[in-house]
Amino acid sequence: MSAEVSQEELKSRNATKCQTSFIALSPLVIKFNSETRISGIQIEGFAEEDLLGLALTFVQTPNKSCYKGPCQRRRDIYLDPNTLVINCDIGNYVCQLNITFEETKIERRLCAVYVRGGRNLALKQVTTMSTSTVNETGMVSDGSLAVDGRLDECAATRDDDPYPTLILHFYSSVVLSEIVIYFRPSKESQIFLLQLHADENDTIMEYRGEVHPRVSLVPTPDRFIRILELSLQHANAQMTVCELEAYGECAPPMFGPDCTDICSLECKNYTCSYEGYCRYCKNQTKALHCVDCLKGCGARDKIKTETTDYVISGLRVSPVLSYIMIIIFICVLIMATTDGVRGFLARKNTLVQKYTKEVEKKKPAKRRNTWTKKDSIRRLTFQAPSTEQIGDFLLLQSINSFPSTESLPSETSI
C-alpha cells in the first residue's frame, strides 16, 4: 500500500478526529514529491492496538540523493491512547518512508498519517535592506518579499547600490540545519557573501559562492544564530532575492512559534520539539515532558500521558523545590510568632514592675472612721489615678496579671 504526501499544513483535528478511517497493510509506503526534510510523523489509530509495533525505514529512490536507513534516535510520544508522534533525528533529505508492522499479516485501521516537515524559521521575520526598488506594478520590493513564502515576488536593491545587503533578524536565537537562497541571477557573474552572527558584533560563520537560481548551504551544527547577513561582493550592482529560507529549530531551552517558551527542565540538554515535547529525557521516562505518569505507564510501551495538572508551558516546578519552599515558610512563621510572644511578655513584665512600684509609693490615706453630727456620710479620702494608669490598668486586666481592684488607689464617696 502506498500514498502520496500532500503538502498541507497540520491543523488541530480534536473535534473531527477519526470520523473516517482506512485499512493499512504492511508496509505502508509514503512517497514524497521531492526531497524534503522531516522531523517526525504523527499517526492517528482507530484503536490503541493499531499503533503497537510500528517500525520506520527510509528508502532511497532512483535518481535522487536521499537518506537511507532507520529512524535515528527515535522517540515515541503518545498524545492520547490513539495518537502517536514518532520523532526522528534525520539530518539529510528523505524521499520515501516505509511503515511496517510486527505482524505483517494483520491489518491496521488508521485514521490519518501526518508528516512533520522542515521548519522555515525565516518566514515572516524582520528584515532590512540597504536600498529598495519599485517594480512595474508599483510595489516596493523591500526585504519583506524575501521572507513571504512566495517565489514570484522578489526583494531587489537599486542598480547603483554600492554595497547591496539584506539582513534577517530572528526573534530569538536559533540552530539551523540548512539555508536556502533563491536568487534571480543577473547576466554577469556575481559572488555573494553570507554571514551568520550570534549578535551584531559576533560573526560565527561566513560562506562565499557564485550566485545561482537556488543555493543550499549547511551551517556548522549546534551554533546559536541570531542574524543572517547576505550581500554581494561587487559594488554598484543589483541584488535580487526571491526567497531566503532558514530551516532549523529554536536554540535550547526555547521552543514555540516565536521561540519564546521554555522547555521542561527534565528534557535532556533542554531541547524539545515545536510543541514543547522533550526530544529525549534525562530520567529515561517516556512521557511528553519527561514527567512520570500518575496512573502508571510503560507496560508494553502503552504510554498514557496523564502526567500532571500543570499548564503545559514547558516550565515545571520540581516537587522537591515545593517542599523546600513550604519548610522555609513554616520556619519564618514560627520565628515571627516567637518574636511576637517574647515582645508581649516583656511588655507585660515591665508594666507589672511599674505598677508594683506605683502602688508602693502611693498607698491610700488612713480612713477617718468616726461619725459626727454634721456629716451625713462617712468620707474616705484617696488619690485618683492618672489617665495613663487607667489605660495600663485595663491592659493588665486583659492578661489577668494585675492585683485585684481592691488595691487600686481611688477616691470614692460612700
- Percent of the chain whose predicted confidence (pLDDT) is above 90: 20
| pLDDT for 392 beyond 70 | no
Fold of the CATH domain 126-250:
Jelly Rolls (2.60.120)
For residue 350, what pLDDT is reported?
72
Q: Tell me the C-alpha to C-alpha distance, in Å, between residue 295 and each of 52, 165, 265, 277, 303.
A: 20, 57, 22, 19, 10
Whether the model pTM is above 0.75? no
Contact (CB, 8 A) for 66 and 96: yes
Domain range list for the chain: 2-117, 126-250, 322-407
For residue 7, what pLDDT is reported?
41
Report which residue type is found at 129: M
For residue 314, what pLDDT is reported?
34
Identical fold at 2-117 and 126-250? yes
Look at residues 254, 251, 204 and name the one whose alpha carbon lies nearest to residue 228. Answer: 204
Q: What is the mean pLDDT of residues 52-81?
A: 85
Q: Tell me the C-alpha to C-alpha distance, in Å, between residue 224 and each of 26, 196, 238, 336.
A: 41, 9, 30, 48
| pLDDT for 27 beyond 60 | yes
Query: 232: pLDDT confidence band, cut at 50, 70 and 90?
Result: very high
**Superfamily of the domain at 2-117:** Galactose-binding domain-like (2.60.120.260)
In 139-239, where do the E strands start and end? Answer: 140-141, 155-156, 165-183, 191-199, 202-210, 214-217, 225-232
Collapsing DSSP states into helix, strand and coil, what is residue 390? helix
Q: For 104-158, write each residue's pLDDT tens digit.
A: 667 888 888 888 777 889 999 999 999 999 877 778 889 999 999 888 889 999 9
Determine the length of the chain. Answer: 414
Collapsing DSSP states into helix, strand and coil, what is residue 325? helix
| pLDDT for 341 beyond 50 | yes
